[in-house]
Amino acid sequence: MAGLTDPNLLFAAEGRPLALARDLYTGVKDLPIVSPHGHTDPRWYALNEPFPDPAHLLVVPDHYIFRMLFSQGVRLEELGVPTLDGGSVETDGRAIWRRFAEHYFLFRGTPTRLWLDHVFAHLFGIDEPLSAGTADRYYDTIAALLQRDDYRPRALFERFNIEVIATTEGALDDLKWHRMIRDSGWQGRVVTAYRPDAVVDPDFEGFSANLDRLGEITGCDTGTWVGYLDAHRQRRAYFKEFGATSSDHGHPTAETANLSDAAAAELFDRIRRGSDDERERKLFRAQMLTEMAKMSRDDGLVQQIHPGSWRNHSPGIFQKFGRDKGFDIPARTDYAAALKPLLDWVGLERDLTVILFTLDETSYARELAPLAGVYPALKLGPAWWFNDSPEGMRRFREMTTETAGFYNTVGFNDDTRAFPSIPARHDVARRVDCAFLARLVAEHRLREDEAHELARELAYTLAKKAYRL
Amino acid sequence: MAGLTDPNLLFAAEGRPLALARDLYTGVKDLPIVSPHGHTDPRWYALNEPFPDPAHLLVVPDHYIFRMLFSQGVRLEELGVPTLDGGSVETDGRAIWRRFAEHYFLFRGTPTRLWLDHVFAHLFGIDEPLSAGTADRYYDTIAALLQRDDYRPRALFERFNIEVIATTEGALDDLKWHRMIRDSGWQGRVVTAYRPDAVVDPDFEGFSANLDRLGEITGCDTGTWVGYLDAHRQRRAYFKEFGATSSDHGHPTAETANLSDAAAAELFDRIRRGSDDERERKLFRAQMLTEMAKMSRDDGLVQQIHPGSWRNHSPGIFQKFGRDKGFDIPARTDYAAALKPLLDWVGLERDLTVILFTLDETSYARELAPLAGVYPALKLGPAWWFNDSPEGMRRFREMTTETAGFYNTVGFNDDTRAFPSIPARHDVARRVDCAFLARLVAEHRLREDEAHELARELAYTLAKKAYRL
Amino acid sequence: MAGLTDPNLLFAAEGRPLALARDLYTGVKDLPIVSPHGHTDPRWYALNEPFPDPAHLLVVPDHYIFRMLFSQGVRLEELGVPTLDGGSVETDGRAIWRRFAEHYFLFRGTPTRLWLDHVFAHLFGIDEPLSAGTADRYYDTIAALLQRDDYRPRALFERFNIEVIATTEGALDDLKWHRMIRDSGWQGRVVTAYRPDAVVDPDFEGFSANLDRLGEITGCDTGTWVGYLDAHRQRRAYFKEFGATSSDHGHPTAETANLSDAAAAELFDRIRRGSDDERERKLFRAQMLTEMAKMSRDDGLVQQIHPGSWRNHSPGIFQKFGRDKGFDIPARTDYAAALKPLLDWVGLERDLTVILFTLDETSYARELAPLAGVYPALKLGPAWWFNDSPEGMRRFREMTTETAGFYNTVGFNDDTRAFPSIPARHDVARRVDCAFLARLVAEHRLREDEAHELARELAYTLAKKAYRL
């Protein structure tokens, strides 16, 4: 390993599997990036301002990083993570960076390490390992580069060779940054995605007020089931104007329901009045996944279902720091029973696409691959979150391919808010897929010409096609 | 890879692990096929008529194939799958074959692809890949060969070097094809297996009429618990006359029960009168697994338990096309608690063999290997259905061997109705096992002489012994 | 493979991954053994008497061995396992040994085989495989060596280069052997660990009498909640006098509770009066895990939680032979929900260490790594019991490292009562870890200098640090 990254990263150590992987990778490494699902901030592309200092760009907002340091005794305040009550936290970027650098060894064996070393090497041109001893040199180098025009968001977007990127906005968002991007004349393709959790999940903070606001925005009567559904249809259409080709749904489980219109309307009335019956609130979420699938059948938005994360597991952290502070713990997740109501309704549709994700790898071979391998409406999203890692992606291919094939999967998405790491993440995914294909060829399970075709599909084509981009 | 199949298929890419695997495989590749569990049609061996055209032999009846094409938008009617109402479907074998060939790329990375290429190469002598461009040449070649006498069922049986094959018949079957085979003087050994689901599962279509019929056939009073059990004993004895050495049980779960005689008799009465209590029907199925185990202890039939498949998941497909159309989705399956009533009764018996299968790989290391590694009555069946694949079989060995050893497993069975693919399936299994053994030797966990002995056990001896064939 | 063990055991077959693994292993193979969790008998070190004959040392007490032979039809009586009623069993060591030797082939592919061959080769200097033909030669060789002074417990302790070993004693134990060791002046470091299951689990045999006894020993009023907790505190302090740095908890599940003081006191009263409400007994166990964590926060004992084993699965064996006869079957185990009450209370503490174990590998990537990767109080114990095996340890690293990193794990512990096998077990663990690290280096995911550092941490430092030894 010369410098921070090796050209043969993640390939077999030697021999024909290495040669094959390298060869496959050569054919795809420079393909444009299609990023159909992620969480970068459209404001960046709209305003095109310089990014902040290294720590506030790379450390403070990255829950992969601060959760690991926290697990080893570093306090979140010391890493600059803001508290809800505005209590004092570290604000000095350099101090935060040094703390991070001292603990960088903790990431050995993790994907965070691979992504960061890739960013350090390829984006910032650094070739010595990060440690306490090199922390300042790192900080100065990166800070200086971030001031340059060619390190502003749009320049990086172009340098990264991003063909299209999707952000995610809530149903109540006015999409003003997207409008600004569109009006700016800049050619970068940034699209939104419809994320209605705040107006679909009765447990969401401010749910009732959110529905009021949804009514105001759309002019629909969100006091009734019919008006509420119409409001969704309007918002979906509005999001489509800003390039949306998909909706995204982050539910605690994959449960769906298929109530009659009358029963659904009655349920909505109870929910709208603030039902405190946990089963009703659960049933409402379940019903809404099916309703969204039906709307997708009608308006063509691809439906993404991201279930199974227990958010904000620690009340202590939640109360002090708020949502999404690394305390999201995967839960065992069912699909075969949970999705049946939705599938009974629209699963055989050939023009609908529902993309399933999981944090529970036990479902890959047992449920997800068998479901996606037969229902025309279903496709499998890539290895997600904690599983978006070399071992995780390898297991995904090993456990889904034999039953669902490659063509019921949808390529890679980076799912990140860490803009600078996007090329690194796609690079890791491409490498892992090429290594997997190389193994199939080396074991004579696939011809070499097929592997080349598949490498391109997995790196580029499938995502474009599945997400209709 | 020259032609469609490579001599080193599924072995390590190179070096000592390759050499070892090849060497082990050389010692077992020509061993006779013992096929102790499958679903070929005894009619074939009885009448020995030519097989139909290529599509109706290889595509139309194979749910692995049509489910994959269906998942990608091909309609079942276009593949010739008959509808229940006799509505029009494609009947032209060549048209079906072309559709299949166009979509053959979908099977990249699947076991279906390995089996089919093996059949194309070794049975039909073809050496170019199947695609739209070669579809007709394939069709003509195969169709012509299927007309030849040496491609009739008995000739293939002999060519395949099948020492013994088991079919599966329902409890009400008169076994006339088996009688015809026996009376024909042909030397091929075809045995039946006792599959009583239709008279054991209250949810089975026509359950009540099935029990009436069971009474007629046996002269037992299937209106009473005692008479009903006697009827089973009679049918089991009848099946044994036609070579049966095993029974087979396809239950939704592995649940067993151990009611007192009085309680069981009472439950039977309620079930016989058509109980609509789901718990009672479930309990009856559970009780019957234990009853069957007790009969096995007495009459020596090996009991196979195949739990955990959610059959006919899509009501739309079930209503239009009927059972077994690729919509069988594995379910999470418990064993440690579910089997306890049965094991408490007969688990310590040393002359009883109960073979457990699973579609839920999470149970391999957690429950199945620990159970089979201590209860004398238990053995582990091979990787089943979706898991009957290179990765699936490899995971089976990796997750069961360290706790259960090799000798609490029962070798391979093909579980197929696709007669031409039987050699291919055994070949894949032998290769995967040899590759696994080669790895153990290469890592110095096993001596080479032991690996040779084990290769033979896994390919041939264990199945004969476990199934008492 | 020359002789019984090869220097390259468990490494990659060849090339750079082999060279790297061997190199890493060279750096750690001679490190002292830190054995922070195990079940050897302190009496051995106290009295330093010769071990018994080979069969009674290596076969009769080892449930890994007799469960495998039992599963293949050998009766426990034939292996010398004593019955509760004192019924006749084989007592002739040589006869037992021969029976074992005849069946030694059953262990092919198991860790028991690796451990035993290591013991035979390295401790007893034997270099031909064990079989019926060599049984007597083995027996004579081993029996003769066991008579020598340099094969007595303390001599072996020193020869094994054990820096410190922990035994496990029940809360009511007087620790007299530990006292005798301490008073003897011998320098070997043997510490105890606090295992209170018998006074914490209302289902434990003699629970009520155990609590009475706990009161007598401590002078606390174990008729009240406050007195009962005080008794625990006293015993913990007493155990600390004999070197204890940890407590150990073998619960059926990982469930914890966090009742108010009043509710806990009330629950204790009902339990103390012999509640027959299963939910109450379960809740009490759950509450006690949290109480023990709180005491750990105060007195610094590391808390080990070993959940998920269904003990004594077969009532037939339990009634005849008693506890722990190989019929312990892992159960599906939850952590994210089960541990929440405990974590809500003390999970963010930076000075508390709670080490989690599992027999349910599905929890590694889904729950355990995400939990340990964020909660400061949590660490992951190594692959346990059936998973303490090459494939099991490899899966542990593959499924936990990417999310929890290496530094939220605690190195290896042998968890054994089989004293002679301790070096073998640590050797296997060191080899597997070195092979895993070698793969990361060969795939350029880790630098070589980091791997050397990590190899040492995994083999030695992490265990010392985590267990505060």
Q: What is the pLDDT of residues A372-381, one digit of tens each?
A: 999 999 999 9
| Confidence at residue C275, expressed as pLDDT on a 0 to 100 scale | 86
Q: Do B404 and C332 touch (CB under 8 A)?
A: no
CA–CA gap between residue B369 and residue B364 (Å, rounded): 6
Residue C87 DSSP code = -
**Cβ neighbour number for residue A86 with a 10 Å cutoff:** 7
Contact B393, B429 (CB under 8 A): yes
Measure in Å the smallest separation between the Cα of C353 and chain A Cα atoms.
Answer: 11
CA distance C469 to C453: 20
Q: What percent of chain B has pLDDT over 70?
A: 100
Give CA separation, C439 vs A2, B141, C22, C57, C189, in Å. 17, 48, 12, 37, 35
Whether the Cβ atoms of residue C222 and residue C198 lie closer than 8 Å to each other: no
C353 vs A contacts (CB less than 8 Å): none
Determine, for residues A370 and B392 on separate chains, whether the beta-carbon distance falls below 8 Å.
no
Helix axes of A225-241 and A278-299: crossing angle, nearest 10 degrees: 50
Higher pLDDT, B323 or B164: B164
**How many alpha carbons lie under 13 Å from residue C331 in its C-beta half-sphere?**
20
Work out the end-to-end distance of chain B between its first and last CA atoms, rounded to an integer number of angstroms: 37
Q: Does B369 touch chain C (CB under 8 A)?
A: yes
Q: Are B378 and B363 in contact (CB under 8 A)?
A: no
Task: Supply the pLDDT for residue B2.
Answer: 53
Partners of B360 on chain A (C-beta within 8 Å) are 366
Q: Which pLDDT score is estimated for A53?
A: 96
- Per the CB < 8 A criterion, the answer to whether B396 and B387 are in contact is yes
For A400-430, the DSSP string reads HHHHHTTTTB-------S-GGGHHHHHHHHH
- Sheet with A378-380: list strands edge to edge: A169-170, A194-195, A246-249, A302-305, A354-356, A378-380
* Cβ atoms of C364 and C399 closer than 8 Å: yes
Write the residue in C6, C332, C392 that is nearest to B402 by C-beta. C392
CB-based contact (8 Å) between A443 and chain B?
yes
| CA nearest neighbour of B469 among B190, B176, B183, B156 | B190
Closest partner residue to B366 among C67, C109, C360, by Cβ?
C360
ipTM of the complex: 0.97
**What pLDDT digit, counting tens, does each position of A62-114 carry?**
999 999 999 999 999 999 999 999 999 999 999 999 999 999 999 999 999 99
| Subunit contact A110:C369, Cβ cutoff 8 A | no
pLDDT score, position C276: 87
Residues 6+ apart with CB under 8 A from B51: B44, B57, B146, B151, B152, B153, B419, B420
**Residue-wise pLDDT tens for chain C (469 aa)?**
457 999 999 999 999 999 999 999 999 999 999 999 999 999 999 999 999 999 999 999 999 999 999 999 999 999 999 999 999 999 999 999 999 999 999 999 999 999 999 999 999 999 999 999 999 999 999 999 999 999 999 999 999 999 999 999 999 999 999 999 999 999 999 999 999 999 999 999 899 999 999 999 999 999 999 999 999 999 999 999 999 999 999 999 999 999 999 999 999 999 999 988 999 999 999 999 999 999 999 999 999 999 999 999 999 999 999 999 999 999 999 999 999 999 999 999 999 999 999 999 999 999 999 999 999 999 999 999 999 999 999 999 999 999 999 999 999 999 999 999 999 999 999 999 999 999 999 999 999 999 999 999 999 999 999 999 9
Q: In this predicted model, what pLDDT tens digit does every residue of B39-51 receive, in sequence order?
A: 999 999 999 999 9
| Chain A residue nearest residue C447, CA to CA | A1
Chain B's closest residue to A12, CA to CA, is: B13
pLDDT tens figures, A158-197: 999 999 999 999 999 999 999 999 999 999 999 999 999 9
B343-364 residue pLDDT tens: 999 999 999 999 999 999 999 9
CB C449 within 8 A of CB A394: no
Beta strands in B9-161 (DSSP E): 33-35
Distance, CA of B100 to CA of A34 (rounded, Å): 31
Q: Does C401 touch chain A (CB under 8 A)?
A: yes
Backbone angles phi, psi at C183, to 5 degrees: -75, -15
Test the A interface: residue of B329, B333, B398, B434 with most A CBs within 10 Å: B329
Once rounded to an integer, what is the mean pLDDT over residues B169-181? 98
Could you tell me if B62 and B69 are in contact, meaning their C-beta atoms sit under 8 angstroms apart?
Answer: no
pLDDT score recorded for residue A2: 53
Query: Alpha carbon of C308 to those of A375, B366, C384: distances in Å?
Result: 36, 10, 11
Task: List, as ranges, residues 374-393 from C with C-beta within 8 Å of B.
Answer: 386-387, 389-392
Report yes or no: C105 at the B interface, CB cutoff 8 Å. yes
The answer to whether the beta carbons of residues C131 and C97 sit under 8 Å apart is: no
Tokens of B142: 């195969």
Q: Is C5 on the interface with B (CB under 8 A)?
A: yes
Give CA C353 to chain center in angstroms. Answer: 17
Average pLDDT over residues A126-148: 98
pLDDT at position C260 is 97
Nearest CA in chain B to A447: B1
Q: Which residues have a Cβ under 8 Å from the Cβ of C189 and sit 6 or more positions away?
A: C162, C163, C164, C165, C243
DSSP B409: B
Contact (Cβ atoms closer than 8 angstroms) between residue A254 and residue A274: no
Q: How many CB atoms lie within 10 A of CB C442?
A: 25
Query: Which tokens hold the place of A433?
Result: 């897929």
Beta carbons of B242 and B166 less than 8 angstroms apart = no
Averaged pLDDT score across all residues of chain A: 97
Contact, B370 vs C329, CB < 8 A? yes
Which C residues, 339 through 368, put their C-beta within 8 Å of a C-beta on chain A? 340, 343-344, 347-348, 350, 362, 365-367
| Chain A nearest CA to C342, separation (Å) | 11
Beta bridge partners of A170: A195
pLDDT of residue A275: 86
Q: To the nearest whole angstrom, how far is the Cα of C48 from the nearest Cα of chain B?
A: 33
Domains in chain C and their CATH numbers? 15-49+153-466 (3.20.20.140), 50-151 (1.10.2020.10)
Across A203-207, B20-24, B45-49, C110-114, least confident range: A203-207
Radius of gyration of chain B (CA): 23
Give the C-alpha separation, A314 to A311, whole Å: 9
Retrieve residue B346's tokens. Answer: 């007969």
A449 contact B CB<8A: no
DSSP-H helix ranges across C171-326: 176-184, 207-218, 225-241, 261-272, 278-299, 315-321
Task: Write out the DSSP string of B322-381.
Answer: -S-SS--EE-----TTTTHHHHHHHTT-SS--EEE--S-THHIIIIIHHHHTT-TTEEEP
Strands (E), B359-461: 378-380
Q: How far apart are CA A394 and CA A171, in angstroms?
A: 35
Residue of C108, C387, C391 with shortest CB distance to B450: C108
Write out the two tokens for B426: 């055994």
Inter-chain contact A67–C374, Cβ cutoff 8 Å?
yes
Query: What single-letter DSSP state applies at residue C78?
Result: G
Q: Which residues does C37 contact at the CB level (< 8 Å), separation at least 6?
A: C166, C168, C193, C246, C248, C304, C381, C413, C414, C415, C467
The arithmetic mean of pLDDT across residues B436-453, rounded, is 98
How confident is the model over B403-427, as a mean pLDDT?
A: 97
Q: Does residue B279 contact residue B295 with C-beta atoms inside 8 Å? A: no
Closest-CA residue of C relative to B442 is C13
In what helix (H) or strand (E) does residue B75 lie, and over which residues does it extend?
none
Name all chains with 3 or more CB-CB pairs below 8 Å to chain B.
A, C
Tokens representing C353 are 């260490």
DSSP E strand stretches across A51-189: 162-166, 169-170
Mutation target among B445, B446, B462 for the C interface, most CBs of C within 10 A: B445
- Would an 8 Å CB–CB cutoff place A410 in contact with chain B? no
Token pair 């390298």 is found at A22
Comparing C-alpha atoms, which of B349, B335, B308 is closest to residue B400? Answer: B335
Is A394 strand, coil or helix?
A: helix
Which amino acid belongs to residue C327?
F
Q: Is the pLDDT assigned to residue B170 strictly greater than 90?
A: yes
H or E segment to which residue B440 belongs: helix B422-442
Residues 6+ apart with CB under 8 A from A333: A253, A254, A307, A308, A358, A359, A360, A363
Closest among C51, C53, C50, C76 to C65, alpha carbons compared: C76
Chain C interface, best mutation among B403, B433, B437, B462, by max C CB count within 10 A: B403
Q: Given a cut of 50, is residue A1 above it in pLDDT?
A: no
